[in-house]
C-alpha cells in the first residue's frame, strides 16, 4: 500500500531517504565525531610516549609509538585472572539483578495492590540513605560472605532507581488490557508474569542488563573491602594495583627520603600511560559484548506491535 502511494508522488519524495533523514544523519554524524575523537585520543595515547604527548594538541596517531604501558599492564598474568573474575561476577551479578528487579517491578506496577504507596516511599528512601560502610561490612561479615562472590553480588542486588524505572516501563508499555485478558482467562499472576510481562519487557531487560552489568564491571570498592584473596580480584582492582605499583606514594616524602631518586618521572610517565591502557582494556570487552545485547532492542521492535 505504502509503495503504491509512493509512485504518485513527485520524484524527491520517491527517494528512499527524505530531507529529514539527511539532516538527521548529518547531525548524528557531527555528534559522533565529537563523541569519538576523545576515545580515539585515549586509544592513541595508550600507545604513546607520555612526555612526547604533552605538546601535541591534536592526536591522530600515536606519538613516539611505545608499548611500555601495555607491557607493564600485561607483565603478570594477573590481568587475565582479573578479566575472568570480572566476567564471572558481572554475569552472575547481572542475572541476579535482572531477576530480582523484574520480579519486584511487576507487583509494584499493579495499582490495586494494597500498601503500594508506602512500599514505593520505602523504596525511594533506600535510594538516599543507608547505614554506611562499617555497618554494611558487619552485616556481610556476620553472614560469613567475606571472600565469596556473594559479598560482591548480594549487596546492591536491587537498585531502587532501576526498580522505579522498571515499574514505570511496565506500566507504560504493557497494555493493561492484555493483563486483564490474561487474568480473566484464568492466569495466575505468576503465569502472567512469565508469559506476558517478561516477553514484552525485553527492551527493559536489555536496559537493566546494560546498567547493572556496567556497574559490576566497573566496580572495585566492594572487592577492596570484602576480598582478601588476590586471585579473586576483579579486573578493575587488578588495574588499580598495577597503577599504584608505579606510583610513588607520598610524593614529597619519597622524593625526600628516597635517596635513590629513582626515575620518579619515568614512573609518572608509566602511570599516565597505564591509565590510558586501563581504559582500553576495560572498554574492549564491553564493546565486544554490546552488539549482542543490542539484539534485545531489535527484538523489542518486533514484539512491540502486539495486537490488542
Partner 1 sequence: MYKKKVESHVIKTSEKSLGKRILMHRELYIMLIPLAVYLAIFWVWPLYGVQIAFRDYNAALGFWESPFVGFKHFTRFFNSFYFERTLRNTIGINLYSLLISFPLTIILALMFNEIRSQGFKNFAQIASYAPRFLSIVVVCGMLLTFFSASTGMINHILAAIGLERVDFFAFPKYFWHIYVWSGIWQGIGFGTIMYTAAMSSISKDLYEAATLDGANRLQKMWYITLPGIQYVIIVLLIMDLGHMMSLGFEKVLLLQNNLNLEASEVISTYVYKAGLIEGKYSYTTAIGVFNMAVNLLILSVSNYTSKKVRGIGLW
Partner 2 sequence: MKKVISFILTLAMSAMVFSGCGNTESGGSSAENSSSGPGEESSQLSMQVEPDTFPITETPLAIDMGRATFLGRFENIKEMWKTKDYEKLTGMTVNVKEYPETGWQEQIQIELATGNVQDAYYQIGFTSSQIFEYSQSGLFIPLDDLIAQYAPNFNKILTEHPEIRQAIQMPDGHIYSLPFIEGDVLTGSNRAYLNQYLMEEAGISEVPKTIDELTAYLTAVKEKNPDMYPVAMQKGNFEHIVNGLMGAYGIGTAGLKGIDSLIDKGLDGKVRFIPSSDQYKELLQLLAGWYDAGLINPESFTTIDVPKMRNLGENDELAMFIWPNSALASTDAEIRTHWTAVSQFEGPNGDRLISSIDAPVRQPYGFVITNKNENPIETIRWVDYFYGEEGYIYQQVGREGESFALNSDGKYEFIGEAKTLNDEGKISYYVGNHGSGYPLYNNNPDYSDKSRNIYNDLRTDGRPAWQRYQIAEDDDYMDILPDEIWPEFTSTKDEAEEIGTIFTDIQSYVSEMQDKFITGAVNIDAEWENYLSTLDRLNVADYLEIRQTQYERYSSN
Q: Which of residues 96-125 bind partner 1 (CB under 8 A)?
A: 100, 103-104, 106-108, 110, 112-114, 116-117, 119-122, 124-125
Q: 83, 92, 165, 268: which one contacts partner 2 (CB under 8 A)?
A: 268
* Radius of gyration of the chain, Cα coordinates, nearest whole angstrom: 26
Which cell goes with 150?
556473594
End-to-end CA distance of the chain: 23
Should residue 147 be labelled a site residue for partner 1 when binding is judged by CB under 8 A? no
CB-based contacts of 3: which residues, under 8 Å, 6+ apart? none
Should residue 137 be labelled a site residue for partner 2 when binding is judged by CB under 8 A? yes
**CA atoms of 75 and 280, how far apart (whole Å):** 16
CB-based contacts of 89: which residues, under 8 Å, 6+ apart? 149, 152, 153, 216, 234
Q: 3, 61, 112, 259: which one contacts partner 2 (CB under 8 A)?
A: 259
> Measured from the CB of residue 222, what is the shortest distance to partner 2 in angstroms?
11
Site for partner 1 in 10-39 (CB under 8 A): 16-18, 20-21, 24-25, 27-28, 31-32, 34-36, 38-39
Of 32 and 67, the one with the shorter C-beta distance to partner 1 is 32
Of 112 and 249, the one with the shorter C-beta distance to partner 1 is 112
Torsion of CA 253, 254, 259, 262, to 10 degrees: -160
Should residue 144 be labelled a site residue for partner 1 when binding is judged by CB under 8 A? no
**CA atoms of 46 and 278, how far apart (whole Å):** 9
Q: 74, 88, 92, 136: which one contacts partner 1 (CB under 8 A)?
A: 136
Should residue 138 be labelled a site residue for partner 2 when binding is judged by CB under 8 A? yes
Should residue 253 be labelled a site residue for partner 2 when binding is judged by CB under 8 A? yes
CB-based contacts of 167: which residues, under 8 Å, 6+ apart? 105, 108, 109
> Measured from the CB of residue 216, what is the shortest distance to partner 1 in angstroms?
13
CB 182 within 8 A of CB 196: yes
The site for partner 2 (CB under 8 A) is made up of 50-51, 53-55, 76, 133-134, 137-138, 141, 221, 224-225, 240-241, 244-250, 252-269, 272
Amino acid at each position: 500500500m505504502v509503495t503504491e502511494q509512493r509512485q504518485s508522488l513527485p520524484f524527491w519524495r520517491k527517494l528512499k531517504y527524505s530531507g529529514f533523514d539527511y539532516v538527521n544523519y548529518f547531525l548524528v554524524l557531527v555528534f559522533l565525531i565529537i563523541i569519538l575523537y576523545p576515545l580515539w585520543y585515549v586509544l592513541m595515547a595508550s600507545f604513546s610516549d607520555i612526555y612526547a604527548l604533552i605538546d601535541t594538541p591534536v592526536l591522530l596517531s600515536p606519538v613516539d609509538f611505545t608499548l611500555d604501558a601495555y607491557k607493564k599492564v600485561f607483565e603478570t598474568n594477573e590481568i587475565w585472572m582479573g578479566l575472568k573474575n570480572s566476567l564471572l561476577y558481572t554475569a552472575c551479578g547481572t542475572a541476579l539483578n535482572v531477576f530480582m528487579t523484574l520480579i519486584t517491578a511487576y507487583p509494584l506496577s499493579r495499582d490495586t495492590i494494597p500498601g503500594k504507596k508506602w512500599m514505593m516511599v520505602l523504596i525511594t528512601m533506600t535510594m538516599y540513605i543507608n547505614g554506611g560502610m562499617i555497618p554494611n561490612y558487619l552485616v556481610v561479615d556476620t553472614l560469613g560472605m567475606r571472600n565469596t562472590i556473594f559479598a560482591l553480588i548480594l549487596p546492591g542486588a536491587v537498585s531502587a532507581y532501576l526498580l522505579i524505572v522498571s515499574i514505570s516501563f511496565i506500566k507504560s508499555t504493557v497494555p493493561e488490557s492484555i493483563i486483564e485478558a490474561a487474568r480473566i482467562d484464568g492466569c495466575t499472576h505468576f503465569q502472567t508474569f512469565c508469559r506476558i510481562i517478561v516477553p514484552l519487557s525485553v527492551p527493559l531487560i536489555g536496559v537493566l542488563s546494560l546498567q547493572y552489568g556496567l556497574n559490576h564491571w566497573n566496580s572495585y570498592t566492594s572487592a577492596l573491602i570484602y576480598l582478601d584473596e588476590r586471585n579473586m580480584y576483579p579486573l578493575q582492582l587488578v588495574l588499580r594495583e598495577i597503577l599504584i605499583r608505579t606510583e610513588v606514594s607520598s610524593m614529597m616524602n619519597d622524593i625526600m627520603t628516597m635517596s635513590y631518586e629513582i626515575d620518579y618521572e619515568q614512573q609518572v610517565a608509566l602511570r599516565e600511560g597505564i591509565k590510558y591502557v586501563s581504559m582500553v582494556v576495560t572498554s574492549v570487552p564491553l564493546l565486544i559484548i554490546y552488539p549482542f545485547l543490542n539484539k534485545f532492542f531489535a527484538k523489542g521492535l518486533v514484539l512491540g506491535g502486539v495486537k490488542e
